[in-house]
């Protein structure tokens, strides 16, 4: 993709300072910028690179004051970070223009395939599934029976989607993710043996959801495991059977959520958090990284620790915890003194 400075300015609603016909064909970090690339200055720690970078165009804040003249073209914008993210999206769309079904894919005749769909090599789609408009399914993807994938969704290589899964519009599912596998459920019989619980439910994923690589979402025992609209899930996340996650909640890497737990809308869950089963977490709850959540929490709280408690309470407790060695020395000294006196 080749874009000229004035075209970029139109996309990001910026003002060109310099040659508005200079063109770029790639994006780069400002410290590594080369001729023909565009970079951005979004953090003052990188100010020095504005003057040394070889990038042809740099996005900068509209109020930035130059320390010395430079020859490269600048585009002044309100928020360089936001503008660069918009350009990343523009360049990324080149990946989504593929259409057609590769000869090495195996698609059952009963599958409904709408216009603009792409199936990469060695992908499989089983009977009675539905593939919406402009869905892009890359190589080595498995899609089971009775799956519905709505329009403009992208499924990257190696994703496995089990039967009866429903996926909404404008979703992105990254490589290695497994959706709809059995939940981790067993009962002990009279002989003490673990007997598998059959899971007959499915997974429902709403619109505008993004799921990172190697994440697993188990189907429900009965009913649905539900991922609501706008949810963003990082890599290596485990979501168990019958979990419900509310709209626009964000989940960082290596989080584990046990079965039948309900998480509200607009929550933020840090990395390596563990959430026990059959809990109810309210809306707008912030869970700090590595916390262990073992009880219900109402809306609009920030929690931390293991077991997780309110963030302020944790900080107050930590003041005493970090001073515990000194406190113990004083206690030992007190007891020794009193024992000697006796």
Q: Which two tokens stand for residue 223?
A: 């009913």
Could you tell me what percentage of the chain is helix, strand and coil, using 3-state DSSP and rounding each to the nearest 5?
20, 30, 50
What would the two tokens of residue 127 be? 């009977």
Q: Which residue has the tokens 């979703």?
A: 171
241 noted as active-site residue: yes
Q: What's the rounded Cα separation, in Å, for the pair 143 and 155?
A: 10
Quick one: CA torsion of 207, 208, 212, 215, rounded to 10 degrees? -20
End-to-end CA distance of the chain: 87
Residue 210 has phi, psi (to 5 degrees) of -120, 135
> Exposed (0-12), middle (13-18) or buried (19+): which is 315, by Cβ within 10 Å?
exposed
CB 84 within 8 A of CB 102: no
- Catalytic one of 6, 174, 199, 241: 241
Q: Across the chain, how many H-helices and E-strands are there?
A: 5, 40
Burial class (CB in 10 A: 0-12, 13-18, 19+), 276: middle
State both tokens at 220.
């429900």
Backbone phi and psi for residue 127, each to the nearest 5 degrees, phi listed first: -65, 150
Instruction: Output the CA angle 63-66-72, nearest 5 degrees.
Output: 105
* Torsion (CA) 154, 160, 163, 168 in degrees, nearest 10: -20
Checking 262-268 for CB contacts under 8 A at 24+ apart, the result is 264/299, 265/228
Three-state secondary structure call for residue 289: coil
Question: Catalytic residue positions?
Answer: 241
């Amino acid at each position: 993709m080749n874009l000229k400075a004035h075209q970029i300015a139109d996309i990001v609603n910026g003002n060109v300072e310099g040659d508005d016909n200079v063109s770029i064909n790639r994006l780069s970090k400002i410290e590594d910028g080369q001729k023909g690339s565009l970079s951005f200055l979004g953090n003052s720690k990188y100010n020095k690179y504005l003057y040394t970078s070889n990038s042809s165009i740099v996005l900068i804040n509209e109020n930035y004051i130059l320390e010395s003249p430079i020859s490269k073209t600048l585009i002044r914008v309100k928020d360089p970070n936001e503008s660069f993210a918009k350009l990343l999206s523009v360049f990324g769309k080149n990946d989504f223009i593929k259409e057609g079904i590769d000869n090495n894919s195996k698609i059952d005749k009963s599958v409904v395939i709408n216009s603009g769909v792409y199936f990469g090599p060695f992908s499989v789609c089983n009977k009675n599934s539905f593939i919406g408009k402009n869905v892009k399914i890359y190589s080595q993807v498995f899609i089971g029976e009775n799956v519905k994938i709505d329009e403009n969704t992208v499924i990257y290589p190696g994703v496995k989607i089990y039967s009866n899964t429903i996926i909404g519009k404008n979703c992105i599912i990254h490589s290695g993710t497994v959706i709809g596998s059995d939940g981790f459920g067993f009962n002990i019989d009279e002989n003490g043996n673990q007997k598998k619980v059959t899971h007959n439910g499915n997974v429902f994923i709403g619109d505008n959801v993004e799921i990172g690589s190697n994440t697993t979402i188990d189907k429900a025992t009965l009913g649905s495991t539900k991922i609501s609209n706008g949810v963003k899930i990082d890599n290596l996340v485990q979501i168990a059977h019958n979990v419900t996650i509310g709209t626009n909640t964000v989940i960082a890497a290596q989080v584990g959520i046990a079965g039948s737990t309900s998480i509200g809308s607009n929550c933020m869950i840090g990395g390596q958090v563990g959430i026990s089963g059959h809990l109810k977490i309210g809306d707008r709850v912030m869970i700090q990284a590595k916390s262990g959540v073992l009880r219900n929490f109402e809306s609009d709280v920030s929690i931390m620790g293991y077991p997780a408690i309110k963030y302020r309470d944790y900080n107050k407790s930590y003041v005493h915890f970090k001073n515990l060695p000194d406190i113990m020395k004083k206690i030992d000294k007190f007891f020794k003194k009193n024992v000697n006196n006796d």
